[in-house]
Structure 1
Amino acid sequence: MAGVGILIRDAAGQMIDACSKKLDAPLGAMEVEAKAVELGLKFAKDMSIQDFTLEGDSLSLVNALRELSPPPLSVAALVYSSITVAHSFRHVDFAHVGRNGNKPAHLLARHALGIADLSVWVEETPCFLEQALKQDVFVNFFD
């Protein structure tokens, strides 16, 4: 079992929407990252967001999504599917962030392990994320 966390922020780094999803499958780290990308694209579509940057902490996955290198074999089908879906938006950037720069998403993923399937927050911030979001915005936007 694994969990993924998706966070949608505005240009100032403030949270707009978020979700946690439990994955009931024995997946490795790369597969979980690829599923997070798939869920992130679906969540952006559901929230009617057309221009965004999707961040991930796997450089090889991000490079594959940017079509700079071939995807790892274990996630090739998910990567090609995600690239196709990304083309349905007005503009999607894929960006690599270090694991420390992705703490709120990791907290959402950890939260997913304790839920039945899916939790979604629209225009509200779950209390367990508040401090991490403040620190993350400070580090990423004022560094």
Structure 2
Amino acid sequence: MEEYKATNKSMASTATQVEGRGTWAPPPENVFKVNVDGAIFTGQKATGVGMIIRDDKGRLEAAMSKKINAPLGAVEAGAMAYETGLMFAKDIGIQDFIIEGDSLVIHHALCEASTPPSSVAAVVQGMKEICREFCGVEFSHVRRQGNKPAHLLIKHAFGIVDFIAWIEENPYFLEQALIYDVTSSSTF
């Protein structure tokens, strides 16, 4: 039993050290990519998170904009985005994916390259536990300009009360960003 747990733990999450990439890159065949982002809505004393799940061809599988009525800091908003992205992936039923965001602090914490700030240590530990429930999870970092659809989903969260999700349907405000990501990734 211990050998089984150890094998599953090692397969459940690995870290990719792709840092500083400025464009979205598709995942390998039969793997999904979950892009996440978080932001603070200071005037509303709230936090917004956005996440988008795409396949290896760049097709949207699911997307969500969510407002969290809590005045979090920037690092905490990033952690909340990753955590919400993992839970959304679980709800959608995907098992093999790369979760990617532009928070280098959270990325390093999940990859165990650095100790997470104390304000998010419990959340990071919880995310690692959640990752064991999947067949394969990798962590990746992308610069903000490579995470535009997730950022646009945050902007949409500013005007909603709770959350809105799209399943296999492109939100109108993402069309151009999705086209740009796919065409720019095919030129490499």
Instruction: Give the shorter-chain TM-score range.
Output: over 0.9
What amino acid maps onto 1:59 in structure 2? Answer: L
Query: For the residues of structure 2 that align with 1:15 and 1:37, how far apart are their CA atoms?
Result: 18
Deviations for 1:42-63, whole angstroms, at most 9, x for unmatched residues? 1001011000000010112111
Residue matched to 1:133: 178
Residue matched to 2:162: 117
Residue matched to 1:103: 148
RMSD over aligned CA atoms reads: 1.0
- The share of aligned pairs that are identical, in percent, is 54
Deviations for 1:21-48, whole angstroms, at most 9, x for unmatched residues? 0011111111111001111111001011
What amino acid maps onto 1:91 in structure 2? Answer: G
User: What number of residue pairs does the alignment pair up?
Assistant: 143
In the TM superposition, what is the alpha-carbon distance from 1:139 to its structure 2 partner?
2.4
Give the number of the structure whose residues are more often helix, by fraction: 1
What amino acid maps onto 1:61 in structure 2? Answer: I
Unaligned runs of 5+ in 1: none
Query: For the residues of structure 1 that align with 2:119 and 2:146, how far apart are their CA atoms?
Result: 25
What amino acid maps onto 2:64 in structure 1? Answer: C
How does 1:1-143 map onto structure 2 within 5 Å?
Answer: 1-143=46-188
| TM-score, normalising length: structure 2 | 0.73
- CA radius of gyration, larger in: 2
What amino acid maps onto 1:142 in structure 2? Answer: T
**DSSP-derived class of the 1:89 partner:** coil
CA contact (8 A) 1:13 1:141 kept: no
Unaligned runs of 5+ in 2: 1-45
CA contact (8 A) 1:101 1:140 kept: no
